[in-house]
Amino acid sequence: MATLSPTAAHRDPAAWELATVPAAGDSAAARRFCRAVAAGHYENFTVATLLVPARLRQHLANVYTFARWADDLADEAASRGEAIAALADWRQQLMDCFAGRPRHPVFVALAETIDEAGLAIDPFADLIDAFQQDQEKTHYASRVELLDYCRRSADPVGRIVLGLEGCRDPELVRMSDAICTGLQLVNFWQDLTRDRLAGRVYLPAADMARYGVEESMLAATTAPPALRALLAEEVAWARDCFTIGSPLTTAAPRLLRPAIALFLAGGRAVADAIERADYDTLARRPTVGRAAKLRLAVRASWACWAAIVARRGGPA
């Protein structure tokens, strides 16, 4: 087996080297590869998967690795043209997978998830659309435009996770979309500098104009008052999304509730971190520490268990 990565210049090559890409057709090795990629790249994966039943953990790893590989094809390509071509090939492989002809090991593993859960192609295709859009669109005129991007870059993940438990209820999907959009928004607001260096500005131009914020301000080492005021409003927007989605923590399929509660709490914790930094995300990127994440996981699990006990009228 050869050690491969989506591109030669991966942002974290050491993590990919921990997971060798198996030969085509080796389904057991493909599953191991996806687990290794998810554990090696995503610091929340181990904690999150402890909050879902064991039978779903492999599926989550398969889905994560699909998205991560596509993300790296987009972000680590040598040129925009190379990224677009690589994503087009990934899309074709996705179509082949749904047609019963998986080729790449990631799709060999993902095919099992798709078959067992009866997942549709749409959310996977939407994710690829979003990665491609990042190659073609670097600025957003309005919140409507940004929400359309979030609909394809963030919301599909929640829809896939709900689908793993056969949940397609429109109201629950709406709540999931709200949480995922909120998570995407707080990530934008904490990553203003990273995105600017990549040539992207996710702050809606209409919002910037209302506060008199110029794009040049994003290159400063500390946020001026106008930008901090704008970010306070944008964080409030993300919090509103979390409020809309919060009922999902008790309405979703029971076995998914602790993980959903964790991600909701994590998003709110990022919003709190930005607020504590006085909305100056240029001076320092606000983050949530590992110990805090573990506390959130414990609280999420306990809260969901307590809610179940309350509904049953006593200890389970």
Domains 22-128 and 137-316 share a fold: yes
- Residue 74 to residue 87: CA distance in whole angstroms: 7
Where along the chain do its domains lie?
22-128, 137-316
Q: What fold characterizes domain 137-316?
A: Farnesyl Diphosphate Synthase (1.10.600)
Contact 162, 172 (CB under 8 A): yes
Q: How far is CA 264 from the centre of its chain?
A: 12
CATH code: domain 22-128 is 1.10.600.10
Residue 11: the pLDDT is: 41
pLDDT band, very low/low/confident/very high, at 30 (cuts 50, 70, 90):
very high
Least confident of 147-151, 246-250, 291-295: 291-295
Its pTM stands at 0.86
Residue 287: the pLDDT is: 85
Residue 169: the pLDDT is: 97
pLDDT at 110 over 50: yes
Q: Sort 303 into a burial class: Cβ within 10 Å, 0-12 / 13-18 / 19+.
A: middle
Instruction: Measure CA of the first residue to CA of the last residue in the chain; give whole Å.
Output: 48
Residues 6+ away with beta carbon under 8 Å from 74: 83, 86, 87, 131, 132, 134, 135
pLDDT at 291 over 60: no
State the alpha helices, DSSP H only, in 165-256. Answer: 170-190, 192-197, 205-211, 225-245, 248-251
pLDDT band, very low/low/confident/very high, at 268 (cuts 50, 70, 90):
very high
The pLDDT tens digits of the residues spanning 119-139 come to 999 999 999 999 999 999 999
Residue 193: the pLDDT is: 96
Residues 6+ away with beta carbon under 8 Å from 193: 218, 281, 282, 285
pLDDT at 286 over 80: yes
Mean pLDDT value of segment 151-177: 96
Contact 22, 30 (CB under 8 A): yes
Contact 60, 38 (CB under 8 A): yes
pLDDT at 292 over 80: no
DSSP state of 263: H
pLDDT at 12 over 50: no
Q: How many residues can be counted in the chain?
A: 316
- Residue 131 to residue 152: CA distance in whole angstroms: 9
- Residue 265 to residue 294: CA distance in whole angstroms: 11
The pLDDT tens digits of the residues spanning 55-68 come to 999 999 999 999 99
